[in-house]
């Protein structure tokens, strides 16, 4: 068979292989969670080396040295929250592409960070989880405020050292504030530990006991 007669068949084979490769690539992209590309944490998911380690201990308590390659759920939450800094505020916003309101930001971080579903509103989030004193705050806990009358109307994620990250209000962006700032200190309503973190803390105490 001459080269000129065989060439069309080769082209058809090449086109088939190229098409199959594109389909496989699209299928892989559809299977991959969008939050991996949004947050840059993809490496932890695809390497298979990530393991949950001990949660962050309270101030003054020595940390348990994690094993090599471990990555705690609290670290995932805090790292993801920080990666979302500067996302604009949007009332009712639930995604980075549209912007966040306070409860939408918190819910997105916990769902995409560690797969935990929290209620939709700050008031409902305040009703869930374990109540803790301000002196017991640990990274990953939720802090609540009354910014509009007596009802719970704002929530943020405590990051340690008296700071919390949140989607403040219209015209602002996801940022870090201090609990000691006069505005937030006057409106502080309490703190809750999400159930998923309360369970982890309980498991840690049993393992250490």
Token output for 59 = 């101030």
- Among residues 10, 14, 68, 102, the one annotated as catalytic is 102
H or E element at residue 98: none
**Long-range contacts at 152-155 (CB < 8 A, ≥ 24 apart):** 152/122, 152/123, 152/126, 152/189, 153/122, 153/123, 154/102, 154/122, 154/187, 155/102, 155/103, 155/106, 155/122, 155/125, 155/126
Q: Residue 95: name the closest of 86, 77, 83, 107 by CA.
A: 107
CB atoms within 10 A of CB 177: 16
- Among residues 10, 14, 68, 166, the one annotated as catalytic is 166
Residue 166 a catalytic site member: yes
194 CB-side CA count, 13 A: 26
CB atoms within 10 A of CB 69: 12
Residue 154 a catalytic site member: yes
Q: Which positions are catalytic?
A: 102, 154, 166
């Amino acid at each position: 068979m001459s080269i000129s007669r065989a060439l069309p068949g080769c082209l058809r084979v090449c086109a088939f292989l190229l098409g199959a490769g594109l389909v496989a690539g699209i299928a892989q992209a559809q299977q991959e969670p969008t939050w991996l590309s949004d947050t840059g944490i993809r490496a932890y998911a695809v390497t298979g080396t990530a393991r949950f380690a001990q949660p962050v201990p309270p101030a003054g308590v020595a940390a348990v040295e994690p094993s090599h390659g471990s990555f705690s759920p609290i670290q995932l939450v805090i790292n993801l929250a920080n990666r979302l800094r500067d996302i604009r505020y949007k009332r009712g916003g639930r995604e980075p592409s549209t912007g966040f309101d306070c409860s939408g930001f918190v819910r997105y971080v916990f769902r995409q960070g560690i797969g935990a579903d929290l209620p939709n509103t700050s008031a409902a989030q305040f009703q869930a989880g374990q109540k803790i004193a301000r002196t017991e705050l640990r990274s990953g806990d939720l802090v609540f405020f009354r910014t509009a009358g007596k009802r719970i109307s704002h929530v943020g994620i405590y990051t340690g050292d008296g700071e919390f990250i949140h989607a403040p209000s219209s015209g602002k962006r996801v940022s870090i504030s201090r609990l000691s700032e006069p505005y937030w200190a006057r409106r502080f309503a309490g703190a809750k530990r999400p159930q998923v973190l309360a369970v982890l803390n309980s498991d840690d105490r049993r393992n250490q006991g």
